[in-house]
Structure 1
C-alpha cells in the first residue's frame, strides 16, 4: 500500500534572509561555547611548549602588566577546564549505564495501553468501558503494588466536583506507584509467537472482527472499539495511526516494520527492557515448570492485579496483536535489521561537551535571582530532596473557604536553565499587585536546570519522591487546608500530573502551558526533542543547550517512565470547568504536536475559546496561541503571557467571571 505523507508537526520558517541570519547566529553561539574546551587544551599546550628553552624566544614577553594578568587568568581557567572536561566526559559515559526500571502489574500496563490505542476513536466511552472491565479497585492496586494499607500514602484519586462536565463521572486509574523490586521479580520470556497465546477477556467475535490482524477466539468481555467493529486499512483512523506510529521507528515506511521490530519497541515501552531479556525470562519460566500465560485461550489470571510473577512476553505478544488491529494491517514475520527502533531509555545517552564557565555562569545567575527573590520576601527551603522558593504574606492563614486571591500559587518550570529561563515571570510573581495577598511557591528542579553543582543534579526524582516532597511542603505551610492553584510549563506539566494523580485534594485549579504530559504514546515529543534532525535556529539551540545537556539527557534517556508521566484528561479534577482547568498551546510548537493535543483535549470535552478571547467560564478552557513557539508565552510579556496570568490570578468566582479580562501587565507595580 502507498506510504502516507506524514502531517507536519510544526511550521518551518521560510528560508529568507532573516532565517539564514538566525541560523548563522545560532551556529556561532554553539560553536563559541563548544570551542572553549578544545581551546583550553590548545592554550595549555602552547604555554608548555613555549617553556622549552629552544622555543622560548618565539614567545613574546608581555609588555604590559594587564597582558600578564590576562595570561595568568586564562591559564588558570584552562587548568580548571581540562580536569572538568575529563570529569564531564566520565559522567556522560557513566550516564549510559542502565538504571532500574519501574515495574507495574500486567493489568495496569494492559489497561493503559488499551486506553492509548482508543485515542481518536470514542475516547470517553471507551475509557469508561476499559475501566469498568478492569475494576476501579483492581486498577488502583495495580499501580499501588497490591499492598493493603497503602491507601493513606498513595490513595486512589478522589473524584472531585459534582459530576457536571468535570470528568468526575469517568472511572480513573489509581496512583502510578510501581511494584517494589521484590514484587516485580519475573521469570517470563521466550520468542514471539502467534496463535492461541493470549486472552484479555475479549469476546469470541474477535476472530471475525479482527481477521486482518490475525485475531483469535477468546472469552467474552470488553472489546476495544477498534476490534469490534474492526477497522479497515482504508479507514482514516487506521491510516493516521500507521502514519504517526512509524516515527517510533525513525520515520521509516510503515510497511518496513516487521513483527519483531514492533515487539522490540513494546518490550521497551512496557517494561524498559530489550526483547531478548524477556525471551530469556520465559525460558527460565518454562524451565521452572510454569507454563506461560495467554496460552490456548486461557484467561489472564493475575489475582486482580496482585500477582507477583508476570509473563512479560505474553503481554508484549498481546500488544502486538492490538497494534495490528489498531493499524488494520498485519506485520510480516521476523525483524527488519534496517529499521531503527526508538527505545528512549535503552538508546545511548547523547551528551554534547560544554565548558565549566557555562555552568559557573548559570550558577551565578541562579543565585542572583534567588537573592533578588529573597529581597522580595521569598525564602529558599531545602526539605530532603525537595527545594523550593516560598513567600507567605504577613497574616495569611489557610482556609478552605479562602477566595482565589488568597489561595497559594505553585509554579513548576520546564527544561532549561531553571530560574534564569523564567526571569521575567519571576519578576511578575514578585511584583504583581494581584498576587501580593497569596502565598507563592516556585519548585526548583536542579536535574533539569543545568545546576551542575547541585546535590541532586544527576539524581532525578520519581513520581513518588516528588509527590511526597510536595505533600510535605503543603502540610508545612497549611496549603493542604486551602488547596493550591498550580501553573506548570512544558516538562513541569508532568510533575503537575503526578500531583493530580497522587494528591488531587491539594489542587483547586490547574493551568497547563505547552503541556507535554498528554498523548505520550504518540512520538512527537520524544522524536522532535531528541531524534529528529534540527532544521531551524531555535531547534539547533534547543538541541545543544537543552536536550543534549548532561542532566536533561540523563533524566530523559534513563529515568523517563511514560506510564508514570502520562496524564489522561479524565485524571484532571473538574476537567470541563474553564474556571478550574485551563490549557494553553503554542501553534508553532516545535516539540509537541500542538494541533493533535488540541484535538485530543477537545475530544475529551474541553471547550476551546473563540479567536481573540481568553479562557474562562462561558468561553472555554482551551486556548491556542497560533503565532507562538514553545515557551514564548512564558517569557513574561505580551498578550499570551497576559492571558495566562489573567486566568491564574483571577479573583472572581466561577459564576461571576464571564466577561472581561484583566491585564497582567497593569497588575504589576
Structure 2
C-alpha cells in the first residue's frame, strides 16, 4: 500500500534571518515613506513652519504634499480594484474541457520519466485519451492527486476537507463566484456542480466527507480579499524614470525602437541586413512580473549583443511593470486581445502569415505581408519568463502555427491547476527575505493585484502539453526549471513534462531559484543562448 502523503501535516517553517534583513532595510523604509509624508506635511502646514524652511525644506514639504495626495488617490484605486472580479464567467465549454483535462493529468499509469518512448504506441504518454474511472483510495495516482489538490485548501490534511468547502472551490473555478446558499443555487449550476463533484471523487479515489469544516478555507483567487500595500509616489516615479532612460539607451546604442500598434506597445530592432528568406528567424522575448525593463535589462542587452543579426521584439506590459502613470495601467488586455495584437503585429512585420479566418487585416495587407515572407522562413522564436509564459500560452492556443520555436523559463503556465503558484505568491506566509521581497514589491502592488487577483482566468492561463507544437523536439522547444524556485513547484512541473516524454530539452538546476536562469554568466542563460544559436538551416 502506498504511503498517503496527502494526510501528512504541512511541515512548519522557521523564519529565516534574511526575512528580518529585508523587512528592516527595504520594506519598512519604503512603506513608512507614506505615513512620514503625512506627518511632515501635516506638521509643516498646520503649524506654518514651512514658511521658515530653506529651499530644501520647502522642496521636502512640497514632495510630502504630493505624496499625501497620491496616497489618497492610491487608496481610491485600491478600493476599486478590491471590488468584485471583472473578468466574469468564462466559456462554459472551455471550462468543462479544462476541468476534464486536469482530472486526466497524471492518470495514465506510466512511470514519472514517461517510460521507454521507443516502445510506446501513443505520441503523448499521459494525454487526454485516458478515461476517468473510480480509483481505489490507496492507488498512487489518487494519493498524488489528493496531495496536489489540497494545496487549494492551504495544504491541510485531506481528511479534514469537507464537501461544502470543495463545492465552494469548484463553484468558484466554474462560475468565478461565491457558492450561493441552499436553494439559491440555479438548477443548471447545481447539476454542473454535482457532476464535477462526482468526477472529482472518482479521481481522488474516495468519497469527500459530508458537511463543512469552518477551519478549512479554499483559495479562490479572484474573489478572495486582496492585499494591496501602498508605495510612495517617488517609488513609482523612480521606476518610470529608469525604464524611460533604458528605452532611450536601447534606441541610441542598439537601435531598439519603441512603437505602438493597436494598443500593443513594444520595442523592436530589425538589423538592416536582415531578410526573412535567408537569415535567422526573429526572437520575441516576453517578460514577467516586476519592474519592467529595469528588471530585465541584463537579459535584453545580452540578447541584443549576442544576436546582432536577427530581429528582436519585446512586447511591453505596463500593467505588470509598476508603470502607474500609464493610461491603461489598470486595464490589461484580455487573452484574446493580447494574442490577436501580437499575431497581427508579427504579420504586419512580415514575419508570419496568418490564415484567412484569423487575419484581421485587409486582403491587400495580407498579400503584402505574404510577399515579405520567404518560403524558408516560417514563424518566430518565443522566449518567455514566469508570468510571460501565460502570454506565450495565449499565443500557442490562438495562433500555434506562428511559433516555430518555444523557450519556457520558470514557467507558471504548467500545472497551474494544482495551485502551487497561487499559494506561494499570494497565500503562503513569508519566512525568507526573498519571499518577503516578492510579496511586498510585486505581489501586493496595485497593478499586479488587479491583473492576477481580479482578472485571472485559470482556463486561459493553463497550458497543456498537447498544446505545445513540437514539444519533444529539443531543437524547437526548451524548458528551464530551478529546483529551489520559491514560486513554481518545479518538481511537479518536471514530473508533468517528463511523464509526457520530455527528455533532452528539459534543463533542470536543482539549486536554481526563480529568475536565476536569466542571470548573466549563469548556466541557464548560456543554455538559452546556445539553443537560440543553433543552426537555423538544420531546424527547417
Hey, what's the Cα distance between the residues in 2 that align with 1:22 and 1:116? 35
Q: Match of 1:208?
A: none
TM superposition shift of 1:337: 2.4
Contact 2:400 2:469 in 1 (8 A): yes
- CA RMSD of superposed structures (Å): 2.9
Pick one of 255, 260, 278 that aligns with 2:164: 260
TM (norm. structure 1) is 0.71
Hey, what's the Cα distance between the residues in 1 that align with 2:101 and 2:40? 58
Hey, what's the Cα distance between the residues in 2 that align with 1:20 and 1:263? 40
Hey, what's the Cα distance between the residues in 2 that align with 1:455 and 1:60? 36
Question: What secondary structure, in the 3-state scheme, does the structure 2 residue paired with 1:485 have?
Answer: strand
Hey, what's the Cα distance between the residues in 2 that align with 1:543 and 1:530? 7
Hey, what's the Cα distance between the residues in 1 that align with 2:529 and 2:335? 27
Structure 2 residue 497 is the aligned partner of structure 1 residue 590: no
Structure 2 residue 404 is the aligned partner of structure 1 residue 508: yes
Pick one of 207, 218, 222 that aligns with 1:330: 207
TM superposition shift of 1:268: 0.7
Q: Match of 2:496?
A: 600
Pick one of 475, 491, 496 that aligns with 1:579: 475
Q: Match of 1:276?
A: 180
Pick one of 67, 76, 79 that aligns with 1:90: 76
Residues 223 and 605 (structure 1), Cα distance of their counterparts in 2 relative to 1, 3 Å cut: closer
Residues 277 and 419 (structure 1), Cα distance of their counterparts in 2 relative to 1, 3 Å cut: farther
TM superposition shift of 1:238: 1.7
Residues 7 and 645 (structure 1), Cα distance of their counterparts in 2 relative to 1, 3 Å cut: farther
Hey, what's the Cα distance between the residues in 2 that align with 1:234 and 1:31? 49
TM superposition shift of 1:124: 9.5
TM superposition shift of 1:232: 1.8
Residues 466 and 7 (structure 1), Cα distance of their counterparts in 2 relative to 1, 3 Å cut: same
Contact 1:102 1:561 in 2 (8 A): no
Q: Deviations over 1:409-447 (max 9, x none)?
A: 000000001110011111112222xx1111100110011
Q: Match of 1:440?
A: 312
Contact 1:170 1:570 in 2 (8 A): no
Residues 528 and 6 (structure 1), Cα distance of their counterparts in 2 relative to 1, 3 Å cut: farther
Hey, what's the Cα distance between the residues in 2 that align with 1:474 and 1:542? 33
Q: Match of 1:300?
A: none
Hey, what's the Cα distance between the residues in 1 that align with 2:350 and 2:210? 59
Residues 573 and 332 (structure 1), Cα distance of their counterparts in 2 relative to 1, 3 Å cut: same
Hey, what's the Cα distance between the residues in 1 that align with 2:57 and 2:517? 44
Hey, what's the Cα distance between the residues in 2 that align with 1:29 and 1:90? 25
Contact 2:85 2:223 in 1 (8 A): no
TM superposition shift of 1:363: 0.1
Contact 2:242 2:294 in 1 (8 A): yes
TM superposition shift of 1:531: 0.3
Structure 1: tracts of 5 or more residues without a match: 63-67, 126-163, 174-221, 283-291, 293-310, 608-619, 657-669
Structure 2 residue 18 is the aligned partner of structure 1 residue 32: no
TM superposition shift of 1:568: 0.3
Residues 238 and 488 (structure 1), Cα distance of their counterparts in 2 relative to 1, 3 Å cut: same
Q: Match of 2:328?
A: 456
Q: Match of 2:369?
A: none
Task: Give 1:216-365 correspondences, 5 Å limit.
Answer: 224-225=131-132, 227=133, 230-276=134-180, 280=184, 282=186, 311-365=188-242
Q: Deviations over 1:95-123 (max 9, x none)?
A: 02223445455443222212211222218
Residues 31 and 457 (structure 1), Cα distance of their counterparts in 2 relative to 1, 3 Å cut: same
Contact 1:40 1:78 in 2 (8 A): yes
Q: Match of 2:358?
A: none
Question: What secondary structure, in the 3-state scheme, does the structure 2 residue paired with 1:275 have?
Answer: coil
TM superposition shift of 1:22: 6.3
Contact 1:278 1:312 in 2 (8 A): no
Hey, what's the Cα distance between the residues in 2 that align with 1:238 and 1:520? 18
Pick one of 35, 44, 47 that aligns with 1:47: 44
Deviates more, 1:82-91 or 1:374-383: 374-383
Hey, what's the Cα distance between the residues in 2 that align with 1:339 and 1:121? 27
The count of residues paired between Structure 1 and Structure 2 equals 505
Hey, what's the Cα distance between the residues in 2 that align with 1:461 and 1:528? 25
Contact 1:247 1:523 in 2 (8 A): yes
TM superposition shift of 1:385: 2.0
TM (norm. structure 2) is 0.87
Contact 1:6 1:244 in 2 (8 A): no
Structure 2 residue 17 is the aligned partner of structure 1 residue 20: yes
Q: Match of 2:355?
A: none
Hey, what's the Cα distance between the residues in 1 that align with 2:110 and 2:228? 41
Q: Match of 1:642?
A: 526
Structure 2 residue 348 is the aligned partner of structure 1 residue 476: yes
Q: Match of 1:411?
A: 285
Q: Match of 1:154?
A: none
Deviates more, 1:105-114 or 1:475-484: 105-114
Question: What secondary structure, in the 3-state scheme, does the structure 1 residue paired with 2:7 have?
Answer: coil
Structure with higher helix content: 2
Larger RCO (alpha carbons 8 Å, 6+ apart): 2
Hey, what's the Cα distance between the residues in 2 that align with 1:69 and 1:477? 52
Question: What secondary structure, in the 3-state scheme, does the structure 1 residue paired with 2:146 have?
Answer: helix
Structure having the higher Rg: 1
Q: Match of 1:429?
A: 303
Hey, what's the Cα distance between the residues in 2 that align with 1:73 and 1:362? 21
